[in-house]
Amino acid sequence: MKLYGLKNCDTCKKAMKALDAAGQAYTFVDIRAEADVATLAPEWLKQVETAKLINTRSTTWRQLDEAQRARAESDPAELLADNPTLVKRPVIEQGGKVLVGWTKDVQAALGA
């Protein structure tokens, strides 16, 4: 299992703490420093809706102008590659599946 996120993200910290408590092994990948979002985003978007993967409540989103925001519809993978902090966190890859966020559904799917 790979967990993509930011070290200072509260939701990522909750996810890691819950996975540790459940005895789940994972590898943490810092989405800003270590991940190749240009390669990952197109693969994630094959399984996850754009609206679910792009965090439109983030500071990064609010700082984008309208032309940049429009790229969420026309080229979401490139928008995420250019702005990795727009990725809703955490993104969890396990067994060929991609899960986004730390909702009750994601927790249940991971047994955490």
Decide if 105 contacts 18 (C-beta within 8 A): no
Does position 6 have pLDDT exceeding 90, yes or no? yes
pLDDT band at 111 (very low <50, low <70, confident <90, very high): confident
The whole-number pLDDT of residue 72 equals 92
CATH, range 2-110: 3.40.30.10
Say whether 12 is catalytic.
no
Does position 25 have pLDDT exceeding 90, yes or no? yes
Stated pTM of the model: 0.91
Q: How far apart, in whole angstroms, are the C-alpha atoms of residue 23 and residue 2? A: 14
Structure tokens at 111: 């047994």
**Set 1, 3, 7, 9: catalytic member:** 9
